[in-house]
Amino acid sequence: MNEDSIILKTISLKKYYEVRSKFLKRIKQFVKAVDDVTIEAGRGETLAIVGESGSGKTTLGMVLGKLLKPTDGRILFKELDITHSLPNHLRGKIRIVFQDPYSALNPRLKIAYSLIEPLQTMSISKRDAVEKASHYLQLMGLPESYMNYYPHMLSGGQRQRVVIARALITEPEFLILDEPTSMLDASTQAQILRLLRSIKKEKQMTYLFITHNLAVARYMADRIAVMYAGQIVEIGGKNSIFQNPLHPYTRTLLSAYPPPNPRSQWNPIIPEELAVKYYENKCRYIDRCPFKIQECEKNTPTDIKVDENHYVKCFLYVKT
């Protein structure tokens, strides 16, 4: 990827949570929610992060959205280190949209106030702010009259569109979307996904699209990163991930989704239901993996390049 076009980059990013035992408050162990994640996202690109609950995908989004402090590692925004603080001129350039549109809006504020709130720390006159709010509301396909509505007067899909409009109002270059449609019905989901795609194209934004739904990732993403136990186990272009999934976990995940055609075979790979372990000296997927080899017991797999932009953390693909 061209260095100039990289909007966001992480270097060995880590976020550990301490799990303390109650006795003597000793630190017992860590949950390595994000462990040694190095990714980059270019201008106009959608990078999807997929994984099951507990894989660390939401934590990664929160760290990148500056809502959590990383334990270690660096975050670069257009080559500027923003790991510890975000300079003033970059305020509003990174925004985040969460899953639940019902808790994201203050029920006592009119939509207009919710929309202009992020602009209040910037030197923008109130009149301009209101004008902007109405512009972004209409961009999300909602009538201007909704400015005077309260959140309870809107449906879930309409609320989520307000939340996205509020994120867009500061003209971000990097937008983190954490399961933005997983609480919505099929028809509403289609509306929002389509809008998000066309806005990205128009404004050349970069999306980090966090989802557990691979079908949604396939529709939205340019590249896909698969997370397991805090690590990115496979990353690659959308087509190479879907047509040539390599990591045993990626394959399991892909097989778990039924194809919509009832005549197509659905033969999911069923893994053991085991708790995630954050092994340091062996592969973290080893307990569930049906293809494990001796090497997996001894070492931690590192990224192996299998194709242009396609990397996998798995000993099965080590070329000797």
Partner 1 sequence: MKPLEISNLVIKYKTLRGWITALDNVSLSIDGKGEILALVGESGSGKSTLGLAAAGLLPSNARAEGSIKVNGRETLGKPYSSKVAAIFQDALASLNPVLTIGEQLAEIFIIHEKLDRVRAIEKAGVFLSEVGLSKEFLDKYPHELSGGQRQRVLISMALAMDPELIIADEPTTALDVTVQAKVLLVLKNLVKKAGIPMIYITHDIALAMHVADSITIMYAGQIVELSSKYDVFENPLHPYTKALLKSIPKVDSDVEELYVIEGDPPSPDNFPKGCRFHPRCPAAFDKCRSKMPEVTGVNGRLVRCHLYE
Using CB under 8 A, list all residues that contact partner 1.
Answer: 52-53, 155, 157-158, 185-191, 193-194, 212-216, 218-219, 252-264, 266, 268-271, 273, 275
- DSSP per residue, 33-82: EEEEE--EEETT-EEEEE--TTSSHHHHHHHHTTSS--SEEEEEETTEE-
As measured in angstroms, the least distance from the Cβ of 215 to partner 1 is 4
CA distances from 274 to 69, 70, 257, 277 (A): 29, 27, 20, 9
Q: Which is nearer to partner 1, 77 or 249 (CB)?
A: 249
Give me the half-sphere count of Cα atoms (radius 13 Å) on the Cβ side of residue 51.
29
Q: Which is nearer to partner 1, 107 or 260 (CB)?
A: 260
Residues 225, 237: Cα–Cα separation, whole Å: 9
As measured in angstroms, the least distance from the Cβ of 189 to partner 1 is 8
As measured in angstroms, the least distance from the Cβ of 93 to partner 1 is 29
Residues 188, 69: Cα–Cα separation, whole Å: 34
Q: Is 19 left (phi over 0), alpha (psi -120 to 50) or beta?
A: beta
Residue partners of 168: CB distance under 8 A and separation at least 6: 95, 136, 139, 140, 175, 199
Q: Which is nearer to partner 1, 32 or 159 (CB)?
A: 159
Q: Which is nearer to partner 1, 11 or 256 (CB)?
A: 256
Q: Which is nearer to partner 1, 22 or 263 (CB)?
A: 263
Residue with tokens 């019905």: 185
Cα-Cα-Cα-Cα dihedral sign, residues 179, 181, 185, 190? negative
- The encoded tokens of residue 83 equal 């790991």
As measured in angstroms, the least distance from the Cβ of 317 to partner 1 is 22
Q: Which is nearer to partner 1, 53 or 125 (CB)?
A: 53
As measured in angstroms, the least distance from the Cβ of 261 to partner 1 is 6
Q: Which is nearer to partner 1, 137 or 253 (CB)?
A: 253
As measured in angstroms, the least distance from the Cβ of 219 to partner 1 is 4
As measured in angstroms, the least distance from the Cβ of 51 to partner 1 is 9
